[in-house]
Amino acid sequence: FYVQDVMMTALEQTPLATATLAGGCFWCLEAVFTRLRGVHDVRSGYTGGYTPNPTYAEVCEGHSGHAEAVRITFDENLIAFSTLLEVFFAVHDPTTLNRQGHDIGTQYRSAIFCHDARQRAQAESVMAELAHACHWPDPIVTQVVDAGVFYPAEMAHYRYFDQHPGQPYCRAVVGPKVAKLQQYFIHLVKETSGT
């Protein structure tokens, strides 16, 4: 029992942190971030608006003020917040205001919801570096705002891509983002991406 107790104590002391990101449909971001080493959990949900306990339908209508977002729980010893941001900016277009591809509306805005001053500083630094490098022809419009209440999405959205890989939106939109992750960030991907 001693070895098990030591292992449990070490696990309990793991420095887990939270990141909240929005960049279009949350199915895309969830599918990407669940595959990264050091990420313990990714939950799709709604944040940044004013409607309490919104439903998916209410958010899709665009009147709740909320963005579709993901809340990522990660081990800072294994993956840095800045690395999460690097992946975030690689898998969505941060230059289109309130839009990702055919998904249009404020609910699809690009945003980093910061949980502390350090995250805000890192977000602003990463964005300044990307702007300086002229990575995109248009300016970055990603919002950097304080994290607020996060409302988890309905369970039907949990691991949506993994549950429905053949669904047309998943094939056309989510799949290419996961493929991009595998192509450019294979060194960060879990050996078994379903865990």
Q: Which residues are catalytic?
A: 25
CA 122-97-133 angle, to 5 degrees, is: 45
Closest CA relative to residue 125, chosen from 86, 159, 160, 95:
86
d(CA 51, CA 121): 29
Closest CA relative to residue 61, chosen from 70, 69, 51, 71:
51
Do residues 134 and 93 lie in contact, with contact meaning Cβ atoms separated by under 8 Å?
A: no
Place of tokens 């549950």: 163
Do residues 24 and 107 lie in contact, with contact meaning Cβ atoms separated by under 8 Å?
A: no
The token pair at 103 is: 């998904």
In the sheet with 39-47, reading across from the earlier edge strand, the strands are 143-146, 110-114, 16-23, 67-75, 39-47, 150-152
Residue 112's Cβ-side half-sphere holds a number of Cα atoms within 13 Å equal to: 29
